Structure 1
Amino acid sequence: MRTTTLLLSLCFSITTLAQNYDFGKVSREELEEKQNPLDTSANATYLYKNRKTYLQYDQTQGFQLITDIHERIKIYNQDGFDYATRKVELHKSGSDEEKLSSLKANTFNLVDGKIEDTKLDKDGIFKTELSKYNNETTFTMPNIKEGSVIEYKYNIVSPFYWNVDDFVFQHAIPVKKLEASFETPEYFNFKLNTKGYLMVTPKVETKNDKITFTSKERSGRGGFGAASISTSFSTSSLDFMKTITSYNLSDIPALKDEPYVNNIANYRSAIQYELSYTKFPQSPLKYYSTTWEDVVKTIYDSPNFGSELDKTGYFEGDIDALISTISEPMARASLIFNFVKTKVKWNNYIGKYTEVGVRKAYKDQVGNVAEINLMLTAMLRHAGLNANPILVSTRQNGIPLFPTLDGYNYVISGIEIEQGVILLDASNKYSMPNILPTTALNWEGLIIRKNKSSSTISLYPNQPSRNTVTMMANLDRSGNIEGNYRSVKTNHDAMLYRAGYLETDKNQFLESLENKYNGMEVSDYEVVNDYNLSEPITESYKFSLESQADVIGDKLYFSPMFFLKTNENPFKLEKREFPVDFGYPSEIAFRILINLPEGYKIENMPEPAAVIMPDNLAEFKYFVSGNEKSIQLIVSTKVNAPIISPMYYDSLKEYFNKFIEKEAEQIILTKI
């Protein structure tokens, strides 16, 4: 047995050493592979990832950041087809922009025992302007089938040498072989930050290099009858040292998304390079963003941020008329907040900087997040409130672990009062004070005051969102139910419901509701306070649903929660390394009255129960009672913390198991 293992290991090593990663040299073995040998659940695998990023001097452009990409991907099944489309985001600022070039890409398939390749043509390449600051190039590989291998190469030339994209080592699919390097001349000092749970050890070396300069001189005289002009060239060079940091990894496991993770990228193994300072020959040191204080100053001093807060003339007349008869500060704040939400529509662009400016956004009644919330902040200040902008990183952008200008990509407004900070986001028409859109519920924000001082602010709400469900159900002898349902939602639950209900076709909304509960028939559907954001939103309807009790002989078996019970534990992994992020504390309470069919009596009912997590992070209570005509059920489930540490994962998993088991317990009715 030991000999066999050694032989297999030796064969694997020889195969690995013999693997050809030159572009286009896809092997028959790669095409014949049916699954990843180390992860049979993978829909695709990076067979090879290579990235080389380096700073290169151009005599006309100065230093530029060059990134060369080469990737080879095996697609096992249709679920892996998504990897046949590659999206590359390219930054821009004014006339400066990143450019993608030298793209070549092939799809390889095994057809009748022969390797056939299909080249990507221009029809598969699309260029899109995402915003004022970003373009996107997308290409979709041709002739994709189960078993295909795709391969592509391209490079990106960037004038923004200080903005190095993260070196990402871990993905949603496994990586068999990864090579990466970062080369920096001695004139640049980059700070290295690591994240993720995968151990990565770089190799660092230094080498000599040089920059060659070419100059051109002309001699001779022009004019009529003059001798011809001659041109001569001369070169000079500048010697320097460069640092090469390289990474060489094999068999990197997939980082698989899990329920209630705010952004899986926060936990992905990666290296971030942040430019600390530059020191060019015969030039002084120039420092970049090395501390949060530097970041705050750079952002605030931007003409698209701080100076926008000082512009007031465009709104003063409207705001003065709005609040002229109101002296109470928070009443003024409420009027201004609602005024901005109705006056200026969000154009679906996020960002911490303005694009067209607050004046134009106000005039045109449309703007991005920064224009709306910087405008709101300026108006609140004009009304005498201590309002300041708060930088936020959206969930999609991740958590800013290190000082970086790109760490924050969103801005809201905050009013500082004695009791704390009231958070406002006027870009979302369903938001309320301290009820931010879920994309902004991402750990902490950074409030920036007029004197450029700053401090962190928790973005998570202290008050729980509540959903109170009242249901009356009539159970018949066949196990069918019909009755009335009513739900009252507050805070974030109300905001999310309004967004789902008001932004959806009503017929489609009801169809989705009926499908959610496996063929329920809904009638008399009504929503109260759908646009009155200051009040809880109420949903009510009549329903009928078949086969909610099992009829066995002369007995009926059913869960008293019927279709409202939780059927599946979302936490299935044995171990979890990431925090569980519920977004906000919440509570759902059920009050259910069940009218029993005539001629039946209660034979058995579940016992009361309470399940509480350590440190009161979550709690579940269950109580049921009944008589000869009806059964009453009261159930409450609370999540008291928006984020639960992975150290409590086992307790959380067991908590869910217990309350799901309890909700599934059945009442038994017997014919009299």
Structure 2
Amino acid sequence: MRITLVLFSLCFTLTAFAQNYKFGKVSEEELEEKFNPLDSSASATYLYKYRKTYFRYDQSEGFKLITEIQERLKIYNKDGFDYATKKVRLHKSGGNEELIVGNIKAYTYNLLEGKIEDTKLTKDGVFKSEYNKYLNETKFTMPNIKEGCVVEFRYTIESPFYYYVDDFNFQYAIPVKKLEAIFEAPEYYNFKVSTRGYLSVVPKTETKRDKITFRSKTRSGDGGINTVTRTTFHSSDLEFTKHISTYSFTDVPALADEPYVNSINNYRAAAKYELSYRKLPRSTIKYFSTTWEDVAKTIYENPSFGTELDKTGYYEEEVDAIIGTVSDPMMRMGLIFDFVKSKVKWNGYHGIYTNDGVRRAFKNQTGNVAEINLMLTSMLKYAGLNAYPVLVSTRKNGVPLFPTREGYNYVISYVKMGDGYILLDATNKYGAPNILPYKTLNWQGRVIAEKGGSALVDLYPKEKSKNTISLMVKLNEDGSIDGRCRSIKTKHGALSYREKYNGADEEAFIEKLENKHGGLEISEFKVVNNLDLSKPVVESFKFIKESQADIIGDKIYFSPMFFLKTDENPFKLEKREFPIDFGYPSTTRYQIIINLPEGYKVESVPEPIAMSLPDNLGIFKFKTSVNASTLRLLVDTEINEPIISALYYETIKEYFKKFIEKENEQVVLTKV
């Protein structure tokens, strides 16, 4: 009987603990918890996340979108301290409309000598600022943060943008013990919902009746001296149906970022609501995006998109001077592309719509992505080329899997050439035809035609980027090496190098390169063709590095790839559900010549090997040759597809494991 009572008491306590989510009701059990029982590696855990987004009617301003947030976080160690800072970024429009964060209430809880101590966030700990011209930011850091503490906060966001609902995210970089989310919409606003991720995201749906009360007043009396003015108040109700979706999750695992993932957000469990149509009482129905054709037409007909393509007067004279004597379409395209890149500088803002317009961007020689690439597209069309704008979602923005106006945040240009096409982005001065910035290599873009038609186009490049590395090495008897390194990079490899090198201080760049290779000492550093985009970029330098071989008795052991070898397999998970995204196909060749120390001969070298991935996805070749005093090594690695299905994950993981082992195998020299 006593055991039964103890078990009953324990179950009751655990149930009460698990369900006690009322704000401020933090328990000793939560504060005493040393680690997450289901994920001991987690530095923090969401004990409870709650969000409710709903519509509220204001008689003077109409419907507003209200979001209520409550979060309770357990911080286990110092690595979790970052979660004690909350940043809320809010969209704003060009007018006076903006989102407002209010009703902030927050506490930090610590357990001191068996008692719960709470520390309140004060008003002077909340900071509001302009993050950029499109976003405001409200930020606060919780006080009295210690290992083992619990922080809890709640706030409300009020938005006039009833048509834009932030994604409901259900998975984060740390685990979640309990998550509840609610979305309510009146019958006047029809939203379509799309889900993503590998968790089962199925809401409980229901409808309820609600009402809006309208209030008014009238005054009676003729305004004479002896007349009494009376005010009469009136009210009337408008009943309507609201649609409610409720999500509930327990023990949601962390979604950690992984190598070679285009954007982890693409795989985060989430629900996205987008307005399909609006039907207010006594008004006609207004449709928004329901199909890709609707999306394309809506975007094209926006004055800040399609209309901007039709403007030509501001550039005609200068473009005529550039291409007037040139008839070849490819040359015309190249001349216009280079002209826009040199004429207008990107101001750092993304977007599919212009902000100040193409005329002003051309005049001021600066503009956002849309202004620069819509301008480019317009000029190409003016020059007689079949050019169209392409909507793109950058890697961080995710992949628009369903018809959506908000899924794209970038614009590039598409030029039809014979049986093929060329993609251009004039925002990057180091870009070239079909060499797009890495951030835009994200599955497919959507080509937008004049009347709003659309078609998909693959954004990943077909041609391989090549990196050829030549190493001339002298191996010394004390295990140190010195020599010369030369690398030649093409296409996306060259673009990436130019972005890093041309925008950096050379001394800092060299120091970073030395640190990358474990304390290499570099001299006579030189870069060629860093500004000539028609040629590969070439980097060369002399180097010295100590302790590159182990000397045991009369033998010397070393990896023939020295500081160029790969030390660690980037693929560590037992199982992976995400595609492996390399960004672009590539090939790397290592040509290494090693002059051996005098008085030593080669006793053994790694065996040659040639491995290939299935379906021609990639290859690895490793081959050595020896003469009297010289060892030669040739290593080739190729990845032939920019993105590889997760079905091949185990194969890719094993492939990397084997070639890393091979790169780390050692040559053995023995004293003659």
Q: Give the TM-score taking structure 2 as reference length.
A: 0.97
User: Partner of 2:343 in structure 1?
Assistant: 343
Name the SS for the 1:97 alignment partner. Answer: coil
Contact 1:131 1:349 in 2 (8 A): no
Contact 1:311 1:378 in 2 (8 A): yes
Name the SS for the 2:242 alignment partner. Answer: strand
Query: After TM superposition, where is structure 1 displaced by more than 4 Å over at least 4 residues in a row?
Result: 3-10
Note if 1:192 corresponds to 2:193: yes
- 1:272 Cα deviation after fit: 1.3
User: Partner of 1:125 in structure 2?
Assistant: 126
Cα distance per residue 1:38-64 (max 9 Å; x no partner): 110111111111111111221111111
User: What is the alpha-carbon distance in structure 2 between the residues aligned to residue 356 and residue 9 of structure 1?
Assistant: 68
User: What is the alpha-carbon distance in structure 2 between the residues aligned to residue 316 and residue 141 of structure 1?
Assistant: 57
RMSD over aligned Cα, in angstroms? 1.8
User: Partner of 2:145 in structure 1?
Assistant: 144
User: Partner of 2:116 in structure 1?
Assistant: 115
Unaligned runs of 5+ in 2: none
Amino acid at match of 2:110: N
Cα distance per residue 1:427-467 (max 9 Å; x no partner): 11111111111110100000112232210011100001110
* Percent identity of equivalent pairs: 62
Residue 25 and residue 431 in structure 1: after superposition, are their counterparts in 2 closer, same or farther (change >3 A)? same
User: Partner of 1:548 in structure 2?
Assistant: 548
- 1:160 Cα deviation after fit: 1.8
User: What is the alpha-carbon distance in structure 2 between the residues aligned to residue 438 and residue 621 of structure 1?
Assistant: 27
User: Partner of 1:443 in structure 2?
Assistant: 443
Contact 2:298 2:452 in 1 (8 A): no
User: Partner of 1:21 in structure 2?
Assistant: 21
Contact 2:300 2:451 in 1 (8 A): no
Amino acid at match of 1:646: A
- 1:474 Cα deviation after fit: 0.5
Contact 1:337 1:426 in 2 (8 A): yes
- 1:10 Cα deviation after fit: 8.0
User: What is the alpha-carbon distance in structure 2 between the residues aligned to residue 146 and residue 519 of structure 1?
Assistant: 35
Contact 1:132 1:355 in 2 (8 A): no
User: What is the alpha-carbon distance in structure 1 between the residues aligned to residue 26 and residue 122 of structure 2?
Assistant: 20
User: What is the alpha-carbon distance in structure 2 between the residues aligned to residue 432 and residue 9 of structure 1?
Assistant: 71
- 1:641 Cα deviation after fit: 0.5
Residue 11 and residue 610 in structure 1: after superposition, are their counterparts in 2 closer, same or farther (change >3 A)? farther
Contact 2:473 2:593 in 1 (8 A): yes
- 1:6 Cα deviation after fit: 13
User: Partner of 2:58 in structure 1?
Assistant: 58
Cα distance per residue 1:551-604 (max 9 Å; x no partner): 111111111111111111000111000001010001100000001111111111
Name the SS for the 1:421 alignment partner. Answer: strand
Contact 1:189 1:276 in 2 (8 A): yes
* Larger mean Cα displacement after TM superposition, 276-285 or 187-196: 276-285
User: Partner of 1:214 in structure 2?
Assistant: 215
User: Partner of 1:267 in structure 2?
Assistant: 267
Note if 1:180 corresponds to 2:192: no
Amino acid at match of 2:549: A
- 1:507 Cα deviation after fit: 1.0
User: What is the alpha-carbon distance in structure 2 between the residues aligned to residue 5 and residue 626 of structure 1?
Assistant: 78
- 1:155 Cα deviation after fit: 1.1
Name the SS for the 1:492 alignment partner. Answer: helix
User: Partner of 1:605 in structure 2?
Assistant: 605
Amino acid at match of 2:233: F
Contact 1:557 1:669 in 2 (8 A): yes
Residue 335 and residue 9 in structure 1: after superposition, are their counterparts in 2 closer, same or farther (change >3 A)? farther
Contact 1:93 1:132 in 2 (8 A): no
User: What is the alpha-carbon distance in structure 1 between the residues aligned to residue 471 and residue 487 of structure 2?
Assistant: 9
Amino acid at match of 2:544: S
- 1:283 Cα deviation after fit: 2.7
Cα distance per residue 1:20-54 (max 9 Å; x no partner): 22212222221221111111011111111111111
Cα distance per residue 1:392-418 (max 9 Å; x no partner): 000110000111111000001111111
Cα distance per residue 1:614-651 (max 9 Å; x no partner): 10111100110011110111000001111010000010
- 1:135 Cα deviation after fit: 2.3
Contact 2:463 2:585 in 1 (8 A): yes
Cα distance per residue 1:289-327 (max 9 Å; x no partner): 111111111111111111111111111111111222222
User: What is the alpha-carbon distance in structure 2 between the residues aligned to residue 452 and residue 600 of structure 1?
Assistant: 73
Note if 1:596 corresponds to 2:596: yes
* Larger mean Cα displacement after TM superposition, 193-202 or 602-611: 193-202
Note if 1:158 corresponds to 2:159: yes
- Spell out the pairing of 1:458-537 with structure 2 (5 A cutoff): 458-537=458-537
- 1:93 Cα deviation after fit: 2.6
- 1:124 Cα deviation after fit: 2.7
User: What is the alpha-carbon distance in structure 2 between the residues aligned to residue 398 and residue 6 of structure 1?
Assistant: 53
* Larger mean Cα displacement after TM superposition, 495-504 or 6-15: 6-15
- Spell out the pairing of 1:299-314 with structure 2 (5 A cutoff): 299-314=299-314
- 1:5 Cα deviation after fit: 13
- 1:131 Cα deviation after fit: 4.3
Contact 2:174 2:253 in 1 (8 A): yes
User: Partner of 1:629 in structure 2?
Assistant: 629
- 1:221 Cα deviation after fit: 2.5
Residue 282 and residue 381 in structure 1: after superposition, are their counterparts in 2 closer, same or farther (change >3 A)? same
Name the SS for the 1:405 alignment partner. Answer: coil
Q: Give the TM-score taking structure 1 as reference length.
A: 0.97
Q: How many residues align?
A: 669
Amino acid at match of 2:14: T
- 1:122 Cα deviation after fit: 3.1
User: What is the alpha-carbon distance in structure 2 between the residues aligned to residue 459 and residue 129 of structure 1?
Assistant: 34
- 1:7 Cα deviation after fit: 8.1
User: What is the alpha-carbon distance in structure 2 between the residues aligned to residue 8 and residue 407 of structure 1?
Assistant: 52
Name the SS for the 1:190 alignment partner. Answer: strand
* Larger mean Cα displacement after TM superposition, 104-113 or 541-550: 104-113
* Larger mean Cα displacement after TM superposition, 280-289 or 516-525: 280-289
User: Partner of 2:333 in structure 1?
Assistant: 333
User: Partner of 2:428 in structure 1?
Assistant: 428
Amino acid at match of 2:174: I
* Larger mean Cα displacement after TM superposition, 13-22 or 47-56: 13-22
Name the SS for the 1:401 alignment partner. Answer: coil
Contact 2:345 2:427 in 1 (8 A): yes
Name the SS for the 1:598 alignment partner. Answer: coil
Cα distance per residue 1:254-285 (max 9 Å; x no partner): 11111111111111111112222233333333
User: Partner of 1:204 in structure 2?
Assistant: 205
Amino acid at match of 1:252: V
Name the SS for the 1:21 alignment partner. Answer: coil
